[in-house]
Chain A
Amino acid sequence: MATQETTGDQLGRDAALRLQQLKGRLFEVALVAATLVGIVSLLALFAQIGSDAFQPESASATWFLVYLGTLVAPTAAFTLYARRRPAVRETNALAFAAVFGGLLLSAVTYVVVESLSPYDVFIYAAFAAVPPAVVVAYDRTTDGWAYTGPAIPASILVGIAAAALLYDVVRGPIGIAAGWIMYFGLVTVPAALLIGTLTASRRGRRSGIVVGGLVAGGGLAVAAASIVAGTNASLLVVFFSLFAVPTGYVLWRSVRTDPAGRVGVAGPFVLLGGALLGAAVVSQFGIQNPDTFLTPNLLLQSWDGLRAGNAGVYPQIVGSIVIVGFMAVLAFPVGIGAAVYLEEYAPDTGIRGRLATLLEINISNLAGVPSVVYGLLGLALFRRTLGLGTGVVISAAGTLGLLILPIVIVSTQEALRSVPDALRQGSYGMGASRWQTLREVVLPEAIPGTLTGTILALARAIGETAPLVIIAVATTKYSPPSGLFGSATALPLQIFAAASNAKPEFRHGVVPAAAVVLLILMLLMNATAIVIRNKYARET
């Protein structure tokens, strides 16, 4: 009610109000500061380690100017231009993902398949792919078959078993073919099929066949050209199939379907082109490079404990990737299965309900068990009980897989919980069974959340050292692991060993450089998780 207020009352009220506002603002500032404290400290530490790794003080000013002109300025200009236009921004982001994702995928595929032997991989892949293809064809022609669902995984297993049995027979004859033919079969053929199918679904069968044929033909042409030129045919075939073709497809479609955002596709090429141009100028004019250990040597050579400039961690990088890859294959299915059980199948009450509660408590406890204890578990399980050798890839992958299993389960549970119940009920209402609902409705919705959590767990596992020390994984190897039962090696172990090298240039030069490589691997994985999460984010 409006009453007579004295000026004094009014001033008093305003003062109290302003005090509250001040308190609120201070609180908000304190919150922001707290949020930033960890991030800023870490950035400061990264800056230090990066500076030790790159040694920027040793580069001449001209070096900085060159790269400023060729790389930084054009990229910055392009980014500013793209920021204002949402269409351009989107195609730019897509182009970056395609280009760098393609480059990374090609590199990793080539390196891993090459270590495991392309012939072995091809044999197993071919044997594993034929039976399910037969099943799918049969399913198509007979208008649906009740047994298709379980038949496909079963046929894959049959194929792999057949490969194992017939390996010795087949290996000899297959070995006659050149390496690039294996890669052709492994990557070019699936790429052609994929692109062909995508085109067919959009523009009809004939276009699909034509495009698929073009891709296959292109692969052959690349191989032929590189054989003539004497370069590495396998590598180029892989880059063609996993980088050039997908990137070309994605970019071509962007350009065709989004005329406004067409310019965006140039983004990654501005960056790459600028970097290459800068490198060319620097080497042409003999400008002083930074005296860094982060060189291609580090990435491509094997270890040398005496000559810091010669030391490389290629086997360890491949080893870490291989271990993490197997670890994901082991932990992902079991983790998803357990989470699905706990969220979808387990009742809330009764004996089963109490069992489910017990399982959940157990899992949250396992998430907190120290990594050293998992190392001891791995030692007992894989060494003593299963009798595998010391420090083999599968022991390392298994031990680390057990380590991240609880994390995968918990993040999958969270993802499943976030799927609205209405979707499930709708599916049941249409007569679908529980498994069908899971397969068609719930899991597809939950996969992005699961993937995010798993990739973050993988990023953490790639840096784990203690369990590997306990299961006696080799610190130094001069070649990457050759298979599941071959001996493993990992990047963090070599870093840890190099930190006690007597020579200072190792402790203060090679170690930060290798640490930066490990950090980049981790950041790449984190970035992938973020991209997936952003792409599939649901409006809640």
Chain B
Amino acid sequence: MARSHDADTDRITRRKSLAAIAGAGALGLAGCTSDGSDGSDGSDGGSESISGDIRISGSSTVYPVAQEVTRSFAEQNPDVDFNLSRDGSGGGFENVFIPGDSDINNASRPIADDELQRCRDNGIEPVEFFVARDALTVVVNNDADFIDSITLEDIATIWSPDTAPEQWSDVNSDWPDEPFDLYGPASTSGTYDYFTETVIGETEADQPIREDFEGTEEDDLIAQGVQGNVAALGYLPFAYYVNNPDSVKALSLSVDGSDPVEPSLEGAASGNYPLARPLFFYGNMNMIQEKDHLQTFLEYYINEADEEYIAENIGYVPSNSDMVDANLANLEAAAAGEYEYEPISTRD
């Protein structure tokens, strides 16, 4: 029986499309089995390279530190598969850490009681490590010649909802009659939380801060806002200021009549700079016990946290040797399964 030419080309087309489908399906299912390492063509040097995966979630403030530490660790140990995400401290706890999907959660604030409880309900004990300090910088426009330093009390007055002054001169008669134009981190940011708790403190009004400021998650935009108005005032993390020193002018801070301290890392490290908030990361104790590579990485992370480049390149205040020792002790306890988190409120 004569098969027409069309049938042949039809076969070819069908075979081609089948091959394509098979190929796509094969690619798909091939993904199911993921090898950590192939060990195929070309062998590496003889050093023992550890392997495994490490998932890090959480605060976008701590992210730059995690980013650099994981990068240098991954360079030396290419078989460790890192995953970093920026979910925010709370988002990281809620979506990733508490369900047990991440090994480490970065946080720009201590873990909340509610989060702690839910971790424990899930059988996870969070291991606290202190990583660095973020020095908050109060900034004004580069052309604002009328001010070089400011007291914490004045800052509280400016930002508190109880007083909420309209103009600079309302707070200090030496200052101009210009209305305030305020910029700062959005209310969902940990920087905001720290500022309201530490600087403004308790308020009589129902809310912790005055509402008429421009809040944003992007430090860049706080600086841009301040640049746009001579009468503008804002606060942002020092890490931004140290990388863009010409964009805005940083004010020295003083407390209760003490000498103004310039915003610098030496000042913050010395403990004299009043606005330095602690940054943490929390480990999942089960994972620490199970994964050897995670322990190795955590040891590396803790030791790196007091290095110079944390200050020079990233802009945070590094740990000091006491903190490193405390962290290492926590790590040891966690690896042995003996660590238990103490909420800040119960510590002395």
Which residues of A does B touch, CB under 8 Å? 112-113, 116-121, 123-125, 127-129, 132, 136, 143, 152-153, 156, 159-160, 163-164, 167, 171, 175, 178-180, 190, 194, 197, 201, 233-234, 302-306, 325-326, 329, 379, 383, 389-391, 393, 440, 472-479, 482-487, 489, 497, 499-504, 507
B25 is contacted by which of A128, A304, A379 (Cβ under 8 Å)? A128
B26 neighbours in A (Cβ, 8 Å): 121, 124-125, 127-129, 160, 163
- Residues of A within 8 Å of B314, CB to CB, are 306
Assess the B71–A391 pair: CB atoms within 8 A: no
- Which residues on the B side are within 8 Å of A479 (C-beta)? 78, 81
Q: Would you call B22 an interface residue if the criterion is a C-beta within 8 Å of the partner chain's C-beta atoms?
A: yes
| B38 interface contact, C-beta 8 A | yes
Given A201-B8, A500-B219, residue A487 in contact with residue B83 (CB < 8 A) = yes
| Given A123-B30, A502-B219, A303 and B71 contact (CB-CB distance below 8 Å) | yes
Query: Number of contact residues on B: which range applies?
Result: 35 or more
Docked-complex contact B218 and A472, CB < 8 angstroms: no
Q: Do B22 and A128 have beta carbons less than 8 Å apart? A: yes
Indicate whether B337 reaches chain A with its CB closer than 8 angstroms: no
Q: Which residues on B sit within 8 Å (CB–CB) of A167? A: 33
| Most B Cβ at <10 Å: residue of A124, A136, A477, A501 | A124
Most buried by B among A163, A234, A475: A475
Contact B82 A129 (CB under 8 A): no
Tell me if A391 and B83 are in contact (CB < 8 A). yes
Distance of A229 Cα from B71 Cα, bound (Å): 32
Q: Quick check: B244 and A504 within 8 Å, CB to CB?
A: yes
> In the complex, what's the smallest C-beta–C-beta distance from A162 to chain B, in angstroms?
11
Q: What are 11 A-B pairs at a CB distance below 8 A? A: A118-B40, A132-B18, A156-B22, A163-B26, A302-B74, A325-B27, A472-B57, A475-B63, A486-B31, A500-B220, A502-B219
Contact yes or no, A502 B31, CB < 8 A = no
Q: Which residues of B contact A306 (CB under 8 A)?
A: 64, 67-68, 309, 313-314
Question: Does B85 belong to the interface (CB within 8 Å)?
Answer: yes
Chain B, residue nearest A476 (CB): B84
Interface string of B4-39 (1 = CB under 8 A from A): 000011111001101101111111111111111011
Question: Which residues of the partner chain B approach A119 to less than 8 Å between Cβ atoms?
Answer: 35, 38, 40
B60 within 8 A of A: yes
The answer to whether B28 and A326 have CB atoms under 8 Å apart is yes
Q: B-side interface residues toward A, CB under 8 Å? A: 1, 8-12, 15-16, 18-19, 21-36, 38-41, 53, 55, 57, 60, 63-64, 67-68, 70-71, 74, 78, 81-87, 91, 95-96, 99, 101-102, 217-220, 237, 239-240, 242-244, 309, 313-315
- How many A-B residue pairs lie within 8 Å, measured between CB atoms? 199
Q: Is the CB of A478 within 8 A of B82?
A: yes
B22: A residues at CB distance < 8 A: 125, 128-129, 132, 156, 159
Residues of A within 8 A of B102 (CB): 390
Given contacts A124-B29, A474-B55, A502-B315, list 6 more A-B pairs with CB under 8 A.
A175-B38, A476-B84, A482-B36, A484-B29, A486-B34, A489-B83
Q: Please, which residue of chain B has its CB at the minimum distance from the CB of A473? A: B85
Do residues B83 and A180 form an inter-chain contact, with CB atoms below 8 A?
Answer: no
Q: Determine the chain A residues whose CB is within 8 A of the CB of B71 once the complex forms.
A: 302-305, 478
In the bound complex, residues from chain B placing their C-beta under 8 Å from that of A489 are 83
Identity of the chain A residue whose Cβ is nearest the Cβ of B39 in the assembled complex: A175
Q: Establish whether residues B30 and A117, one from each chain, have CB atoms under 8 Å apart when the complex forms.
A: yes
A484 to B63 CA separation, bound complex (whole angstroms)? 26
Q: Is the CB of A475 within 8 A of B25?
A: no
B64 A305 Cβ-Cβ under 8 A: yes
If A472-B96, A504-B243 touch, does A478 touch B32 (CB 8 Å cutoff)?
A: no
Q: Within the assembled complex, what's the spacing in Å between the Cα atoms of A159 and B38?
A: 24
Evaluate contact between A482 and B32: CB separation under 8 angstroms: no
How distant is the Cα of A257 from the Cα of B266 in the complex, in angstroms?
77
Distance (whole angstroms) from the CB of B66 to the closest CB of chain A = 9
Chain B residues within 8 Å of A197, by CB = 12
Interface centre among A171, A383, A393, A503 (most CB of B within 10 A): A503
Q: Are A234's CB and B12's CB within 8 A?
A: no
* B18 and A484 contacting across the interface, CB-CB below 8 Å: no
